[in-house]
Amino acid sequence: MKPVLTKLINFTTFKLYNTQLTVVKDTFFRKKVTINAGGRLLDLSSPGVMGIINITPDSFFADSRKPGVDEALLQAQKMLANGATFLDIGAYSSRPGAVDISAQEETDRLLPVVEAIAAQFPEAIMSIDTFRAGVAEAAIKGGAHIINDISGGMLDTDMFSTVARLNVPYILMHMKGTPQTMNQLAEYDDVFGEVFDYFVAKYSELKRLGVHDVILDPGFGFAKKSEHSYTLMNRMNEFDLLGLPILAGISRKRMIYGLLGNTAAEALNGTTVLNTIALMKGANILRAHDVKEAVEAVKIWEACVAQ
């Protein structure tokens, strides 16, 4: 196994000495593959697909923009019919250089959609893509179940305590800076080591607060150049040492279309290839614009590993 960190860490399942990772067999535990979302126990040993619904006018992939309630409901219906385990609803565009909007505007965009989906599709498990604790809480009270925070609590110091108080699953993503500044911060001596250290520190803080269900997201493309994202993808299975479910969010991103020389609109084939690699590297959730294709990738991968 490749060296991981540059400092000594003791963290329940492993010890790192002089950059060399050593598994401590006596304390090693299996990867957690279940989460409790809205009173429903979800088993992610069979990977789930999270369909993306953007209640925004400016998300990077135009076909994901569903700014009205009716459009969002139709998209939710389609994604659930195609096998989505989760719906990820976002009202703040986090693409590089996106326009910053107020918490009130984000809430005003988000809540009508959350409430409408909860009413029309009560079986739907909704994740809320926000870094603001107040927006997250309003959405949970409106019928959502999971908080998906691109900032890992760094852009709102109330986020972790809010997640603990609401007792909901939390998706912990790695990012540096903000959507407006992250491209200028994409510099690393060891991108895997930095992200790993970040997860160790943040998860320890969440555990102290009593947060039980945490999902890790390496944050592909967030304050990362393409080479950083591919390094993280190649080593993603090593995050299993933290014993937590992994989310891979690579759908139609620049790491795909920049490499292939096409556009986000043309990046479905590349996304399917990379989703398959993510499954091979231990992903438990695929966050995707194209649910049908992602579900098919999961089925094919499962049939292969079952042999």
Question: φ and ψ at 246, to 5 degrees?
Answer: -120, 135
pLDDT at 269 over 90: yes
- Delimit the domains of the chain by residue range: 1-30, 31-305
The pLDDT tens digits of the residues spanning 271-293 come to: 999 999 999 999 999 999 999 99
Under the banding of pLDDT at 50, 70 and 90, the label for residue 57 is confident
Residue 32 a catalytic site member:
no
Catalytic residue among 65, 235, 281, 287: 287
Under the banding of pLDDT at 50, 70 and 90, the label for residue 179 is confident
The pLDDT tens digits of the residues spanning 185-215 come to: 889 999 999 999 999 999 999 999 999 999 9
Indicate the fold that domain 31-305 takes in CATH.
Answer: TIM Barrel (3.20.20)
Under the banding of pLDDT at 50, 70 and 90, the label for residue 226 is very high
The pLDDT tens digits of the residues spanning 124-178 come to: 999 999 999 999 999 999 999 999 999 999 999 999 999 999 999 999 999 998 8
As given in the structure block, the two tokens for residue 199 are: 């997860």
Report d(CA 287, CA 179) in Å as an integer.
Answer: 19
pLDDT at 13 over 50: no
pTM for the whole thing?
Answer: 0.88
pLDDT at 109 over 60: yes
Side chain identity at 146, as an amino acid letter?
A: I
State the average pLDDT over residues 217-229: 96
Pick 52 or 181 by higher pLDDT: 52
Report the pLDDT value the prediction gives residue 60, as an integer from 0 to 100.
61
As given in the structure block, the two tokens for residue 184 are: 């200028």
Rounded to the nearest integer, the mean pLDDT of the chain is: 89
For a pLDDT cut of 70, what percent of the chain falls above it?
87
State the average pLDDT over residues 43-71: 83
Side chain identity at 258, as an amino acid letter?
A: G
Report the pLDDT value the prediction gives residue 120, as an integer from 0 to 100.
97
Report the pLDDT value the prediction gives residue 284, as an integer from 0 to 100.
98
Under the banding of pLDDT at 50, 70 and 90, the label for residue 66 is low
Catalytic residue among 176, 253, 254, 281: 253
Report the pLDDT value the prediction gives residue 22, as an integer from 0 to 100.
39
Residue 287 a catalytic site member:
yes
- Tokens 């992602």: give the residue: 294
